[in-house]
């Protein structure tokens, strides 16, 4: 059971991280810089 919870937490963390990363990348692109 703990393994499943840890996996879910990791998945949530990755999803949030990718969302923030995409937003950050868009922000950088908006400033005329490329990542």
- What are the boundaries of each domain within the chain? 1-35
Contact yes or no for 25/35 (Cβ under 8 A):
yes
Terminal alpha carbon distance of the chain: 39
Per-residue H/E/C for the chain: CHHHHHHHHHHHHHHHHHHHHHHHHHHHHHCCCCC
pLDDT tens across 1-35, in order?
Answer: 789 999 999 999 999 999 988 888 877 677 665 54
CA distance 25 to 34: 8
Q: What is the pTM of this model?
A: 0.50
């Amino acid at each position: 059971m703990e393994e499943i919870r840890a996996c879910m937490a990791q998945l949530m963390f990755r999803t949030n991280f990718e969302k923030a990363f995409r937003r950050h990348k868009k922000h950088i692109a908006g400033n005329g810089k490329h990542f």
